[in-house]
Amino acid sequence: MKTEKIGIVGSGLIGRAWSMLFTSAGYQVMLYDILPDQLSAALEYIDIELHRLEEHGLLRGHLTAEQQFKCLRTTSDLKELSRKAIFIQECIPERIEWKRSLYQQLDDILEEQTIVSSSTSTFMPSLFTEGLRHCHNMLVSHPLNPPYYIPLVEIVPAPWTSPQAVEFTRQLMLEIQQKPVTLKREVLGFATNRIQYAIINEIWHLVDKDILTVRDIDTVMNEGLGLRYAFLGPMETAHLNAEGIRDYIQRFGGEIHKVSETYDAIPKMEPGPTLDKIAEQCEEMVPRDMLAARRKERDAFLTKLSALKKEF
């Protein structure tokens, strides 16, 4: 077990997952929330979850579930949370005015060594750290849901984040067995959502034009592209699909350009007949009252997949 303290602000879905990730490496984790009930619910959830994972041989790290749970404390006092913390992971809801107000409060009480990183999925760090005294120690580390099973973390610095804060965060993510990628500078959507949204834009058009059903599109991913992407990634795939990437582009670059020229304009995603069609087909695949059960299946599949990936 370690003596260093990590603070978690917000004990919802993502705050709970980060807590488990940091305790898995033996850090002393303190959870803070504005709602005391959320804190007790989080403790209860984490206790059950750690023991469930241990029972199934899926617990991360070398400590037992009980040892990991003992690394966890809660507080309703932000000052207590930040005292002597080496790192704070912020996990409050995606509301820019809430984030700004919290970072302002933190700025008044932060110690010099503490790095504060946001879990935000959509806000560039400059939006809520500009002008703060400790802005050089503030950045984003964006996880993917569920973070305990999907290791990617996007580290996104603001223009004023120090290289030391970025490197510290990267090393910390590696230590807790996550897989960080570091953006050289902030960009809207970071990397994952920029790529994901390009895919969703094209899917919107394919369904809108009745070329494919939602189920068939998902099959294209989960029985086709996704199988490769689970371990290769699109660029290594291309590199292997020819005699190297130069050969691939020489052979297929023209075709890629020709197809790309036929893409429609970026669709406006709003309520209307296309969304009705997509929603109807999604709900046929997974009825809304089955979403929770399907999420559980997803987590079980992801766990098996990550175990398999360790063999690669």
Q: Residue 38 or residue 274: which is nearer to ligand NAD going by CB?
A: 38
Q: Which residue is nearest to ligand NAD (CB)?
A: 12
The number of C-alpha atoms within 13 Å of 62 and in the hemisphere containing its C-beta is 3
**Peptide bond connecting 36 to the previous residue in cis, omega within 30 degrees of 0:** no
The residue among 89, 157, 168, 92 whose CA lies nearest residue 125 is 157
Cβ-contact 72, 66 below 8 angstroms: no
Cβ-contact 39, 31 below 8 angstroms: yes
Burial track 220-232 (b if 16+ CB lie within 10 A, e otherwise): eeeeeeeeeeeee
Q: Is 10 in the site for ligand NAD (CB under 6 A)?
A: yes
Q: Residue 67 or residue 182: which is nearer to ligand NAD going by CB?
A: 182
Closest CB 95 distance from ligand NAD, rounded Å: 8
Residues 12-51 that bind ligand NAD (CB under 6 A): 12-15, 32-35, 38
Taking CB under 6 A as the binding criterion, the range among 115-123, 126-134, 154-162, 208-216 that sits at the site for ligand NAD is 115-123
Q: Is 254 in the site for ligand NAD (CB under 6 A)?
A: no
Separation CA 229–CA 234 (nearest Å): 6
Angle at 79 between CA 5 and CA 110, to 5 degrees: 75
- Inter-axis angle of helices 13-24 and 36-55, nearest 10: 50
Closest CB 261 distance from ligand NAD, rounded Å: 34
Site string for ligand NAD, 167-206 (x = CB under 6 A): ----------------------------------------
Closest CB 38 distance from ligand NAD, rounded Å: 4
**Alpha-carbon torsion angle 184, 185, 187, 189, nearest 10:** 50
Q: Which of 4, 51, 98, 282 binds ligand NAD (CB under 6 A)?
A: 98
Site string for ligand NAD, 128-167 (x = CB under 6 A): --------------xx-x----------------------
Q: Is 11 in the site for ligand NAD (CB under 6 A)?
A: yes
Q: Residue 97 or residue 223: which is nearer to ligand NAD going by CB?
A: 97
Taking CB under 6 A as the binding criterion, the range among 8-16, 133-141, 188-196, 288-296 that sits at the site for ligand NAD is 8-16
Closest CB 146 distance from ligand NAD, rounded Å: 8
- # residues contacting ligand NAD (CB under 6 A): 24
Site string for ligand NAD, 54-93 (x = CB under 6 A): -------------------------------------xxx
Q: Which parts of this chain interact with ligand NAD (CB under 6 A)?
A: 9-15, 32-35, 38, 91-94, 98, 102, 119-121, 142-143, 145
